Amino acid sequence: MKVVYPREQWCVACNLCEVACMTEHSKTKDPLKMYLMERPRPIPRTRVEYRPPLSISTMCRHCEEAECVEACKNGTLTRNEKTGRIELDQDKCLGCWMCIMACPYGAISQFTKGIGTEERAVANKCDLCPDREVPACVTVCPNRALVFEDRG
């Protein structure tokens, strides 16, 4: 299946992947409105590490034998048998962080969903942008340091 792969030799730590990811997962799909007005503000599902001269952007690998799915206690994380993607149901999530403990890629984050009394900490990770043909981070990357490929 196709997932996003980093090519660290081309990454310049511009962080545009993170911005594109937040925008794609926002209500307005507009980076400025999203940043200034949306609460809770989306958080990036890809993460840029920067240790000059190196940098790299990594996110969920949608593993075939996904350790997050094996650790999840209530089925919040499941594998979609048709697409192969690992799906996360935030409405179901208990915030137990077994997935964060298990993911060897460090690709799952804590996210505070809702505001005020509705506030609830849930898991958050790359969903490969289900509304797009190519994930937003890949499209926006100026250097092709992120590619969307099937490496079997």
Residues that bind other proteins (CB under 8 A): 1, 3, 5-6, 8, 47, 49-51, 54-56, 58, 61-67, 69-75, 92, 94-106, 108-110, 151-152
The tokens describing 129, both together, are 């942008």
**In the complex, minimum distance from the CB of residue 42 to other proteins, in angstroms, rounded to a whole number:** 17
Shorter beta-carbon distance to other proteins: residue 94 or 140:
94
Q: Show Cβ contacts of residue 22 under 8 Å, excluding neighbours closer than 6 positions.
A: 31, 34, 35, 41, 42, 43, 44
> Between 23 and 76, whose beta carbon lies closer to other proteins?
76
Rounded (5°) CA angle 58-59-60? 145
Question: Nearest distance from residue 115's CB to other proteins, in Å?
Answer: 17
Nearer to other proteins, 28 or 80 (CB): 80
**Identity of the residue, 109 or 139, whose beta carbon is nearer to other proteins in the bound complex:** 109
E-assigned strands of the chain?
2-6, 47-51, 54-58, 77-79, 86-88, 109-113, 120-124, 146-150
